[in-house]
Structure 1
Amino acid sequence: MSENTEQAVRGMPRINEPAPAFEAKTTHGVKKLADYKGKWLVLFSHPADFTPVCTTEFTAFARAYPEFQKLNTELLGLSIDSHYAHVAWVRNIKEKFGIDIPFPIIEDLSMKVANAYGMIQPGASDTSAVRATFIIDPNGMLRAMVYYPMSNGRSIPEFLRLVQALQTSDAHKVATPEGWQPGDKVIVPPPQSVQEAEERMAAGYECTDWYFCKKAL
């Protein structure tokens, strides 16, 4: 691994470690990561204001905002554009699409927040943030991060589902299978010993084999 690559890896945020702290001007005033303590936070970047793909994402996040709030989850957008561009874009979305954007958008002209979160990907652009999404828990720990290319929009229902899955795993000490939705069966953690494996098979779970068992919550 080259020195530059090692530096890039060290500078990237890591899952299950504290999310990089920030304090930034937004369309709802100055916001800090600490403001979201006790809540889940979906922090997401977009390449630029007044662009069609980003507009579809923002309107989708706005429509889903009440569902995120039911999960004690806030939304926070970011792009490299100015505060004034953000305000104008929000007003334009209201005028042209009839949708209010209820969450703040970070002005990050210095790229300080974008660089701290690895939102700038030189292979895609040196001056715009790619479509990066970070899920941060109420303790300020980074729990998930997903990157999309600039050309393709994200699926907002997937981030809603992921928050629900993380909260379920935390509350019940279980894992969730592919495509899991609330109400589906969950995966019981694999046994750590031969004795636990024997007990698992007799515990009344839905077991395909000793290492693969599901249960209803």
Structure 2
Amino acid sequence: MFARSFFRIPSKSLAASVRFLTFDAAKQPRVRIGSTAPNFQAPSTVGEIDLYKYLGNSWGVLFSHPADFTPVCTTELGEFAALKPEFDARGVKLLGLSADELGKHEQWVEDIKDISLGGKKFNYPIISDSKKEVAFLYDMVSEDAFNKINEGPIATVRSVFIIDPKKKVRLVITYPPSVGRNTSEVLRVIDSLQVGDKLGVVTPVNWKKGEDVIIPPTVSNEAAKEKFGDFKTVKPYLRYTSPETKN
């Protein structure tokens, strides 16, 4: 399934009961901001998915769940589906993940459609990661689970990864089981990353799309004037300008 395997399962019949039985914690990949997102192939609700082929030249949001038919996760998957046109407008592809079998995913989608979509079609793939292989690649386990990784089955944590078109990880957020994700924050971060990449700027606290941005201290006043035109200096290191440039 993967180009490089970190698992040594003795037999297919034992796969469900010996997950991570020979897991080597020393080989745990370290996925940080700026890391290249590990590629993988996995079954999903729309068929076999290769992450890199699925994303193509688009941005991507990969978000994980420990199990199907869980209340918080159900609301999250539904909200991402409802907001898919917003992600589409930003050139972003959504990819969910849950550590259950594919057949359960298909049943769960029906609940999500009923609760959040008014019966409308569910509109993005959900990966089946029942062997926790993607969870391993992306370090989607809690500290407690990691310490018990060789003792039997574990649950994945609820992580969000924003991946840019160069397959670099640009954001990682991990939530505890009791706290629902903020989908508006995911969109806000994507807006910030995209305007930053386009203009070479950074964004201040609570920034929203269309608001003034910050010129990095590495850009001289002369270069800032040439690139942005007018800007406001609050401190020598804190200068604001409009995201609408003259170039």
TM-score range, shorter chain: 0.7 to 0.9
1:8-87 correspondence to structure 2 within 5 Å:
11-35=29-53, 36-87=55-106
Cα offset, 1:96, TM superposition: 4.7
Cα offset, 1:48, TM superposition: 1.4
Corresponding letter in the other structure for 2:206: G
- What runs of 5+ residues in structure 1 fail to find an aligned partner? 1-5
Corresponding letter in the other structure for 2:41: E
Contact 1:79 1:128 in 2 (8 A): no
Residue of structure 2 in register with 1:138 after alignment: 165
Of residues 211, 214, 218 in structure 2, which corresponds to 1:187? 214
Residue of structure 2 in register with 1:3 after alignment: none
Q: Deviations over 1:59-113 (max 9, x none)?
A: 1111111100000101000011110010010022224552432110000111110
Corresponding letter in the other structure for 1:109: S
Contact 1:132 1:148 in 2 (8 A): yes
Range 40-49 or range 11-20, more displaced: 11-20
Contact 1:200 1:210 in 2 (8 A): no
Cα offset, 1:205, TM superposition: 1.6
Of residues 140, 144, 149 in structure 2, which corresponds to 1:123? 144
Contact 2:159 2:175 in 1 (8 A): yes
> CA RMSD of the aligned region, Å?
2.3
Contact 2:78 2:115 in 1 (8 A): no
Per the alignment, do residues 208 and 7 of structure 1 end up closer, same or farther by CA in structure 2, a change over 3 Å counting?
farther
Cα offset, 1:124, TM superposition: 6.0
Corresponding letter in the other structure for 1:103: Y
Of residues 79, 92, 102 in structure 1, which corresponds to 2:111? 92
Separation in 2, partners of 1:20, 1:161: 24
Contact 2:145 2:154 in 1 (8 A): no
- Asked if 1:207 is matched to 2:233, the reply is yes
Corresponding letter in the other structure for 2:200: K
Contact 2:75 2:112 in 1 (8 A): no
Range 70-79 or range 198-207, more displaced: 198-207
TM, length-normalised to structure 2 = 0.78
Residue of structure 2 in register with 1:167 after alignment: 194
Per the alignment, do residues 209 and 122 of structure 1 end up closer, same or farther by CA in structure 2, a change over 3 Å counting?
closer
